[in-house]
Structures are given as C-alpha cells and as structure tokens.
Structure 1
Amino acid sequence: MDHGEEVGRVPSYTYFLDDETLDVQREAYGEFIAENGLGAGRAFKSLEVMTNDIKAMAKSLFNAPDDAGVSFTSGGTESVFMAVKTARDLARHKRGEPPERYNIVACVTAHPCLNKAGELLGVDIIRTPHTKEFRADPSLMRSAINDKTIMLFASAPNYPFGTFDPIAEIGKLAQHSGLRLHVDGCWGGFLSPFTERLGYPVPPWDFRVLGVSSLSADIHKFGYAAKGASLVLYRSADDQDHEAFSFSGWPRGTYSTPTFLGTRAGGAIASAWAVMHYLGMEGYLRAARLTMEATTRLIAGLNSIPDIECLAPYGESNLISFVSLDSALDIYAVADRLEERGWLRGRMREPQAIQQGVNPAHLATVEEYLSAVREAIEFVRRNASAPVAYDEHSY
C-alpha cells in the first residue's frame, strides 16, 4: 500500500496531497533539521527571511491589515493558547486590575484546546449550546457575557460538525460588548480561502469581518507543511506585546520568546515556506478542488445508503459526520467493523455518529470506502448484539 492509499483510510491525523508535495516537505525539513527557530533573528538569518515571508503570505490570504501581527507556532493548540494569553494580559493592562479570574465565551463545539489554554492560564471557559445547524448561537453567547468576560471564541469551521459559526454576527456582538473575538480557523484556514474561490458556500470568517481580533490557522493541515506549523494573527501588531514572554531574573540575562515555545524546529519553518511557494495559488486551488470533490462524493454516496445519513448542513467544509437512521443499527458497531477492515474512524458522542475529515487522498478510496460501509452495516445486522459502549478516549 502506498502512502496515499494508507492516508485514504485515516480520518484525520495526517494531511496528504501527493508524493511530490511530500518530497518538498521532507527535503526542506531535512535542510534545516538542526536549526533552532528561536535563533531565527540572530543565528539563522535564512529562517528569519522565510518566517517573514510566511507571515506576509498569511496576511494576504486572510485579508489582514498591513499592520497586523503574525506569530509562527507549533500547532493549533499553541496558537489558541497565545490568543488566550494575549486577551488575558491585554485585559489586565487595559482594566488596570490585579490578576483576575477572567472568562471566555464559546460554543460547546469549540475545540478542547481552548479549555486546555484556559486551565493553564487561569481563564474560565463558558460554553453555550449550539443551534439546530450545529453553529454557535450569538444570542446565547450574549446572555453568557458578564463583567469578567474578555473574549468571544468562534470556529471556522468547528471540528465536530464542519459548520461555520456566524462570525459576522458574533463580530458585531464583540464590537458592541467591547470584547475581543478569536476565530479558530486551525482546521480550515488553509482550505476555506480556496474553496471560497471555487464557489463553495463559505461564510465570511476572516479579517474582512469587523470585530475579529485574532485568527489561528494550521499550515500543517491543509497547507500541507510538515508538523508542527501554525499561525496566530492579530488585527493589531501592538497586541503581540502581550503575547511574548520575557524574563531577566537570572544570571544569564534577558530570555525572551515570541510565543510559548523556546526551541522551535527550524525544519517546520523551512517546510512551511517551501510548500507554500511550491504550491502557490494554483496548487492550493487544485488541492481544494480534489478535497471538496472527495467530500461531495462521500456525502452523496453515504446518503444513498438507506440506513444512514450525513448530518446537515454540509458542504461548507471537508468534515463529515453520519448517523444511523435505525435505532437497531449501532453506529459504533459499524465503526468497529470498519476498523477491523482497516478503516480508522472518528466517533462522535452527541449525536452518536461516525466522523471524518477529508483530504485529497480520500478521492481515490471513495468507492472502496462506500462498499466497506455497506458491508459493515450488513455485518452488524447479521451479528446484532448489545450496543457498543462509547469510549471517552475515542478520537
């Protein structure tokens, strides 16, 4: 089995376009495997040039102002962490308060890394229910705001359902309330700008929306860079004064880092830069076209199977979740059977569903996978037993 076929059986974790792009990743990473991104401004000038180039490309892609700030991070978790830290420290500065227990309001569909950041930074996360379309409800978010709220958090799209929160409405709420708004585009940040150009129904979500203060996007997902490569962007570069860490209380002198990490893989920076230049607009449009073709074919094929259906709305992104239409058909048992046959599946808890992200490698396996789903359903019906318990550690 070649790499593309292997990735075509995995619901997430890896993001594959083609062997040529993978070779670009590997070669660029290998050239800088020993360099430390922390020294980009002093010891490794080429890494500084590449980082600045990546930032410029990202500002253009996400319609950020010319004076926006951008930081290169190790992944979506660090990007969200930095957005939370910046919001917390800005609030302390502007409010002139001693350290307070602030909070952030988000929909229940927000990625768990938001709670991880909150736990580490002493910020409470208030989660509100989603709508029938699996989106954040601005009215419920408004009701959750109190005098300790410092930021609203929205997803573009959210990972469980692949739908976009109503960023424009939440942006207005943020402006009216005097709050920051972070948009988590870690999943779709390097896909949505291109699917929008291809005519897919992508709602407004980036810095074109007034009220958006910061935005995160992973290059190591659909930017097809080696892990870990992500970005956090700020509408104002002044915000980065509250993102950085600096310490002078030791004999060596001042130690400063722009984000959370100290040592940073130089190979990740080089890989991101090389792939972004290698693909360019034409390459990313091609990748987006293949991704969404695979997505639409999977949705149509799954919906043609009488026992299951995909959760709607769909088509805004490349995330799919499908449920059983028959209470006697245990969808987790279907997932178990698929995994027995080599199809690693993601599992949703609320509602119980099989979920996956789609990348270009899935296009070649659509028909094989649909046949596997049909076989799995038939197998489960023939061998019906007690329902399969949900595993809290399922991906």
Structure 2
Amino acid sequence: MTSLPKQGKSWSELDGEMDAARDGDVDWRRGRVGVYIHYAGDEVLDVAKKAYLKFFSENGLGPRAFPSLARFESDVVAMTLRLLHGGSDARGAMTTGGTESIFLAVKSARDWARVARPAVERPHIVVPQTAHPAFNKAADWLGIEVQRVPVGADFHADADAMAAAIGPRTIMLVGSAPAFPHGVMDPIADIAAVALRHDLWMHVDACVGGFIAPFAKALGEPIGDFDFAVPGVVSMSADLHKYGYAAKGASTVLYRDAAAFKFQAYSFSDWPRGVYATQTLVGTRAGGAIAAAWAVMNFLGEDGYRAITRRLLDTRRAIGAGVEKLGLEIWGRPELSILSYGSAAIDIAQVADRLSTRGWFVGRLVEPPGIHLMLNLTHEPIVEEYLGDLDWAMNEARAGRARKVEQPATY
C-alpha cells in the first residue's frame, strides 16, 4: 500500500515519474483514440491551458469573492443560450460535466412534478434505448423509475413508442442530439410534441451536439431543429469540454425560462454558518474550467467553430466512405462527428481486437456489434492510415488470426 512519503520530492523527480507513468497511455495526439479527447488544434489548447492556469486557485462556489468567475459563467451561459435559441427568459448554469447537467435536469423535473403532480409518489421517465446512462444514474439516486424504449431500425428514437409508454406517473421525456452510440439525431420535434400533448417535461441531451450541431446546420447539413427553437423543449444539456473545446470539467444545463430553472437550486440554512445555496450539485468548482470555457469561446467565435466543424464533417465523410468501400456497414445515418460501423459478414469484435494490436484504442458497440468513433481534429491527418489498418485487421480476422485484446470500457 502506498503511503505519503516522509519527505517531499523535488519537481524534477515528480516530473520524470509522471512522464514515465504516462508511457502506457494511448497516443491521442496521433489520433489513436476515438473517445475522451476533443482537440481543436494547439492554438485552442494553449488558450484553454493559459486561461485555466490564470484562475487555477479561484473557486466557482464564491461568486461574491470572485466576480470575475461570475461574469465568465454568465457570459458562457448567455452565449450558449443564444446559440441554442434560448429566449430572453432562458436561464442556465455551468456544471462539471454532462452527467451533472443531466442529473440537475432530472432533479428539476422531479421537483417540478412535486408541484404539478403531487399525487405521483414514484415518478417515471421515458427515454430511448440509446439515451445516455446518466439518466438511469440520476434516476437511481433520485428515486425515479426509467423506462427505456426501443429505437427504430434507423436507430432514431421512436416518438410513437415513447408516447405509448407514458403512464400516470410519467413526468419527463428525453431525446438526444445526437445519441452517443450511433451518432444520429433523435426526432426532437416529434418527441417534444408528445411532451406538450401530455404536459410533460422534455429534456434534450445535447452534451455531444450542443456546440457542433448549430454550426453543422449553418454549413447546410440537413439537421432539424433540436433546441429551444422547438416548442415543448424545457431543458437541455450541452458539454463545453466536448465540441466547445474547453478544458475538462465544463458543461452547461439550460432551461427555457426562469420558472423551470427555479427547480434546480438548493438552499440550506440550519447550521451555524448561515445560508448555503448553490445552483449546481457540487459546491466547489474549478475556477480554471469556467475561465477556460469563456476564453476558448471568445477565441474561436462563430467563424472558428464553423471552420472546425467543416473539417470534422469532412473527416467523418472520408472515414465513412472508406469503411463502406471495405464492405462494412455504417450503422444509421450519422449527422455530426460520431460514426459506428459493423458487418454481418465478418466478426467485428475480432477486427477490433486486431486494430488494438496496432495501437488503436477501439471503442466498441454492443447493439448491433460494431466499432465506434467519436472524431476530433487529431483524426483528420490519419484517415488513410486508419483505413489501411482496418483493411489489414479485416483480412487478419477473416484468416482466423485474431486474438482477444482486453481494453477498458469506452463509455
């Protein structure tokens, strides 16, 4: 068991140890991982790092002590709401990640239902089978039942099937923009229409797409309305540390109006220190993450995000075309930066195993079996290398030369 050292070590010693420790890490800069990393170039990364370090010690829990962070957060939320068609009464807050954003939205819906449906003792929410596990995680902690509804053959959420699952205890419907497994945009307008008919809370999980879908749409991609432009959408989650390219530990949770937002807050005063009030699940929040998000958004601007999005879409198309040329099938019709593929003619798990032996950290899909990619700019220069290794891996799998390579889950 490791113990605290009796004497401290010099930074040079620690620096060397830390560099040695990362020897086994995936080489993300060479595009070897299709998850976890969202890279928009060294310039953007440098801005995020500098801004983070500038506010490294400041605490987002104390806006009166650090009005700079209060201003940054207010600006970030306002810019995000404007991007996602929030009106003048729209509200929101920064969080530490998509899971916290989803937790707070589910908590807000539950507390709304306590007022709107006081007779409901154990609330029930309806989500597509492809919705993020964070909804079940939040529901488990909050005493809520989750019903997952099968998606259609095209992997989109089935609004009619979700409507059929609504019961007297249902308080919330969910759609994804896009859903993580296959990268497809759920029919948000159809689900929201169901929510309106039944007076239900509607949440859009745009943790992946919140900062890329608006720019893809502006570039002419056939993406339907998915945000507060859709009547019936009450709340949204959108991650800044994904395609907002901010430092990790930054997301947003957003509400159509102040009436919905009020259910998020928590306040407590029965202790010697007085009132303790927060808008988020956590108390202390890294000031660096807030500052980095503000800096990156202002550094890139609309033109910067649009240019990066164009490159990502081109990369996805190039990999998709190469995958299909090799005889594999793309699952669904991905619209943004996620691509999943597989085959009924070859054991895709064995293909993934062989790819792993060449240094690729392979994301795996269970339903249907497949390989999952979440793309960023590190993948732009390695498209041909990836497709070449994929071709080799397929030939190896056909020849029965695949071997199992264990990797941790990529979700």
**Which band: TM-score by shorter chain?**
over 0.9
Secondary structure of the residue that 2:262 maps to in structure 1? helix
Secondary structure of the residue that 1:356 maps to in structure 2? strand
Structure-2 separation of matches of 1:391 and 1:102 = 37
Contact 1:5/1:365, CA 8 A, preserved across alignment: no
Matches within 5 A, 1:1-395: 6=29, 8-40=31-63, 42-97=64-119, 100-306=121-327, 308-314=328-334, 316-326=335-345, 329-384=346-401, 393=409, 395=411
User: Identity rate of aligned residues, in percent?
Assistant: 46
Contact 1:188/1:217, CA 8 A, preserved across alignment: yes
The offset of 1:382, in angstroms, is 2.5
State the match for 2:7 in structure 1: none
Structure-2 separation of matches of 1:317 and 1:78 = 23
Residues 382 and 96 (structure 1 numbering): CA distance in 2 closer, same or farther, change over 3 Å?
A: closer
Contact 1:32/1:270, CA 8 A, preserved across alignment: yes
Contact 2:204/2:236, CA 8 A, preserved across alignment: yes
Report the TM-score, using the length of structure 2 for normalisation. 0.91
The offset of 1:341, in angstroms, is 0.6
Structure-1 separation of matches of 2:136 and 2:407 = 20
Structure-1 separation of matches of 2:201 and 2:408 = 32
Secondary structure of the residue that 1:203 maps to in structure 2? coil
Structure-2 separation of matches of 1:137 and 1:261 = 34
Structure-2 separation of matches of 1:391 and 1:272 = 31
Q: Which runs of 5+ in 2 are unaligned?
A: 1-22
Contact 2:353/2:405, CA 8 A, preserved across alignment: no
Secondary structure of the residue that 1:37 maps to in structure 2? coil
Structure-2 separation of matches of 1:16 and 1:284 = 12
Residues 254 and 146 (structure 1 numbering): CA distance in 2 closer, same or farther, change over 3 Å?
A: same
Contact 1:103/1:126, CA 8 A, preserved across alignment: yes
Contact 1:4/1:16, CA 8 A, preserved across alignment: no
Paired residue type of 1:252: R
Secondary structure of the residue that 1:39 maps to in structure 2? coil
The offset of 1:187, in angstroms, is 0.5
Contact 1:134/1:161, CA 8 A, preserved across alignment: yes
Contact 1:225/1:272, CA 8 A, preserved across alignment: yes
Paired residue type of 1:21: V
Paired residue type of 2:367: E
Cα deviation per residue 1:59-92 (whole Å; 9 max; x = unaligned)?
1100011111111111100000000000000110
The offset of 1:367, in angstroms, is 0.5
Cα deviation per residue 1:2-48 (whole Å; 9 max; x = unaligned)?
x99625111110100100100000000000110100112x0001111
The offset of 1:339, in angstroms, is 1.2
Q: Which runs of 5+ in 1 are unaligned?
A: none
Cα deviation per residue 1:210-231 (whole Å; 9 max; x = unaligned)?
0100111001000000011101
Secondary structure of the residue that 1:242 maps to in structure 2? coil
Cα deviation per residue 1:243-292 (whole Å; 9 max; x = unaligned)?
11111122221111111010000000000000000000110001101110
The offset of 1:360, in angstroms, is 1.8
The offset of 1:310, in angstroms, is 1.3
Cα deviation per residue 1:181-203 (whole Å; 9 max; x = unaligned)?
00000011100000000111212
The offset of 1:312, in angstroms, is 2.8
Contact 2:353/2:402, CA 8 A, preserved across alignment: no
Secondary structure of the residue that 1:183 maps to in structure 2? strand
* Number of corresponding residues: 387
Contact 2:40/2:245, CA 8 A, preserved across alignment: yes
Residues 287 and 4 (structure 1 numbering): CA distance in 2 closer, same or farther, change over 3 Å?
A: farther
Contact 1:184/1:216, CA 8 A, preserved across alignment: yes
The offset of 1:344, in angstroms, is 0.7
